[in-house]
Amino acid sequence: MGKLDETLQRIGKLDAEAMAAAAERQDRLSKPKGALGVLEIISIKVAGILGEPIPEPGAKTVIVMAADHGVVEEGVSLYPAEVTAQMVHNFLSGGAAINVLSRHVGANVTVVDVGVASDLAGEGLVVKKIAPGTANMALGPAMSREQAVAAIEAGIEVAEAEISHGARFLATGDMGIGNTTAASAITACLSGLDPLEVTGRGTGIDDAGLDLKRRVISEALRVNCPDKNDALDVLAKVGGLEIAGIAGVILAAAAAKCPVVIDGFISAAGALVAAGLHEGAPAFMIASHLSVERGHGVILERLGLCPIIHAEMRLGEGTGAALAFSFIDAALKVLREMATFDEAGVSGPEDALEKTQC
């Protein structure tokens, strides 16, 4: 049995008893029921994922998957392909936005080369290179099915290593010039929507560039005819190696009952693939934010996930996920540290009801 199949078999369900206990405590805390909104929802979901009625915050790691895309040849990005490798070096030196925000929330950053076109080296870099980028999906499949599986399994291995080293919460991040084109193609295929409805400006292309990008995606879908009922087929034909790696991280987290925070559009495309491989995977996901990329909201709706943050972000790298960690920590601290009505000596809604009935 391959690592992917073994991982899929280990994905179970949320702990209903832990969730019920967390919800019951939330209702006894010294506040009106539901008054802390999404913080209450997060704490109950994390309780179910970890199987702990009152979970504690813990070590956090953002896993940034990096890979190149052959479709860049079509002119779909404002930036040249070599920026992928350059940004990986920026991550390793601690100078990128994901480094700043991860330091801000106390998270570690693990950078993975799963398919960068050039050979990279640097302290802390995890090399899991499956291929030097994908092929041009406008001309044929982005990668073979075997490569897609290998990239997913690379993500599984990295996530398992982080969990074994003490990570209690994982987050997904990405780097790959051209990857919003791949993410849009995946989204269009798996959602059944026209590329026009799910394709955004990515790195900031103008109207002419956006029109070209949509035409390239339509051509890639026509040439490759991916089977929307087979997530692996879609991933291989119009996806990316880093998107595959992200799907692997998510599946490994679900199998290990580890909360995984999903970043923006690229990460969401990986989440959509993961959900296509196992319908139970979304239960273990937490959506960090809503990107301005058009396809992101489409994916979150299909996964049944509600984003925590609405900040008009579209950078990727794991930046939205890093910010969401602060909300998750706050949610768990409220559940654990806030006094109940009884503990605080504050009259609750039941006391008011009793007085009305007397």
pLDDT at 77: 94
Q: How confident is the model over 322-336, as a mean pLDDT?
A: 98
Query: What is the C-alpha to C-alpha distance for residues 181 and 62, in angstroms, rounded to an integer?
Result: 23
Q: By three-state DSSP, how is residue 62 classified?
A: strand
pLDDT at 342: 93
Q: Residue 325: is its pLDDT beyond 90? A: yes
Pairing of strands 169-175, 60-67: parallel
Tell me: the pLDDT tens digits for 154-167?
A: 999 999 999 999 99
The closest alpha carbon to 174, from 236, 237, 262, belongs to 262
How would residue 357 be classed by pLDDT, with cut points 50, 70 and 90?
low
CA-CA-CA-CA torsion sign (106, 98, 330, 263): negative
pLDDT at 82: 96
Query: Under a CB-based contact definition with an 8 Å cutoff, are residues 153 and 146 in contact?
Result: no
Tell me: the pLDDT tens digits for 178-231?
A: 999 999 999 999 999 999 999 999 989 999 999 999 999 999 999 999 999 999
Q: Residue 352: is its pLDDT beyond 90? A: no
- Catalytic annotation, residues: 317
pLDDT at 78: 92
pLDDT at 1: 72
Q: Residue 358: is its pLDDT beyond 50? A: no
Report the CATH number of the 60-327 domain: 3.40.50.10210
Report the CATH number of the 3-55+335-357 domain: 1.10.1610.10
Q: How confident is the model over 318-334, as a mean pLDDT?
A: 98
Query: What is the C-alpha to C-alpha distance for residues 12 and 78, in angstroms, rounded to an integer?
Result: 42
Query: Under a CB-based contact definition with an 8 Å cutoff, are residues 287 and 306 in contact?
Result: yes
Sort 229 into a burial class: Cβ within 10 Å, 0-12 / 13-18 / 19+.
exposed
Tell me: the pLDDT tens digits for 264-291?
A: 999 999 999 999 999 999 999 999 999 9
Q: In terms of pTM, does the model score above 0.75?
A: yes
Listed by start position, the domains of the chain span: 3-55+335-357, 60-327
- 6 Cβ contact partners less than 8 Å away, ≥ 6 residues apart: none
How far is C-alpha 34 from the chain's CA centre?
26
